[in-house]
A and B are shown apart, each in its own frame.
Chain A
Amino acid sequence: MPAITRVIINQPVVIYFTNECGIMQNNANISEGKTRPVFAERILQFLNALSAIHRFIGRFFKEAFSPPYEIREVIRQCFNVGYKSLAIITLTGFITGIVFTKQSRPSLSEFGATSWLPSLISIAIIRALSPLITALIAAGKIGSNIGAELGSMNVTEQIDAMEVSGTNPFKFLIVSRVVATTCMLPVLMVYAAFVGLMGAFLNVHQNELTSFTTFIHDAFVRISFLDIFASVAKSIVYGFTIGIIGCYLGYNASRGTVGVGKAANSTVVISMFLIFIEEMIIVQIVNLLR
């Protein structure tokens, strides 16, 4: 359906679509022939979604702090989120450490400052790279998994089945998953930073023959408590974001297999988008505190 834009001076821009018969209509209300602007409909949908997700988050906190607690399910989800992501986190963390060191060396060696490599790398890895890389991998792997799993449970009436059997599906499915992602992301972030630094050490040791003790000393000499605290805080925020977005989209997936795919896909896209926005905000706050 080709879109055309009609611009009238002093009027808002309205996008209309022509159907196969060439009849002009907008996307919002084709059947009734009304001409409600597409962008107004989109804004309304966005505000509705925003309101729904706020209610969802509110319900999460209400359910999370009221008994009974699904401890076993939380532990199971922590295992799924944490342990099952170790391989991919190890690989990406290690490669990031090596590649970043290799790429930084030429610039520093121009000034004869290759001895600064451990400090530079540790600052980059601990402050920015490890929280961000861990979060992006988690959004792709864990977020999509949560969205697809809950979406498919919704489509196949498994969530309804839980509800009619007298179990609270929100507590069992949502609270456990969001708690797991929120708790495990900082752990994965610390692990990714460690592996990244090991990758960097191997490269530095190979080229500059720096010992492990010297590397660690140089790496942490410029790292403050605030850096570590900020990275852990970021990971907590990212973990919560990935969990809540995946759960919200999966739990509310429309009926049908298309809805499952859409829930998984949207989880990744929206989580990544929000992670970058949160990164920007947290960095600003930390810089103010520094």
Chain B
Amino acid sequence: MTRRAGVIALAILLAVLAAGFVYLHLLTRRAKLEAPQHGEEVARTQLREAALQSPTGPTQNITLYFPSDDEGLLVPETRQISWATNDTDRIHQVLLALIDGSYQGLRRPLPPSTELRAAFLSSDGTAYLDFSSSALALFTPGIQSETLAVYSIVNSLAANIPSVKKVRILVQGQEVETLNGHADLGEDYAPDPTRNKPGS
């Protein structure tokens, strides 16, 4: 009886140990897989986008500048939108429209899945744009394509929101060296009208 009890006790002890290890193994694996989900952040962006799409102000024509790779220039395109009342929301609106893409089939300056995490406008007229890193990883690298992408954003913002004088692009809240290996993101960008297609 006592001997059997000993054997059973041992078996239980081993089973508990083994189960513990298996459980810990599963737990670490789950933690690894679930870590990249920023549920709250995604939800917040979606809420913000929904709010921006509802009419909040007067209808207005805005001009967006899209890259034309063949010409190496930015081509303007007009869009009618319900203009938000404050400049920070307007920055979001312009960027969402750029990400949405051109009606004439010009290249998107940013990949369709780009997420603008936050935008601020400082008192000296610098617009800080904070993009998520995941979308920029899908960006087509290149000297011309990155230069046009940056100036598509800068020129579109400055053309429609007069208080935007300069633009600073951040990724995941951090300063980064380049957009994708070429265009310098270490400095503020002022609009460059010479990049817009002349006569249009």
Please say whether chains A and B are actual partners in one complex: no
Chain B positions within 8 Å of A, measured between CB atoms, are none
Chain A positions within 8 Å of B, measured between CB atoms, are none
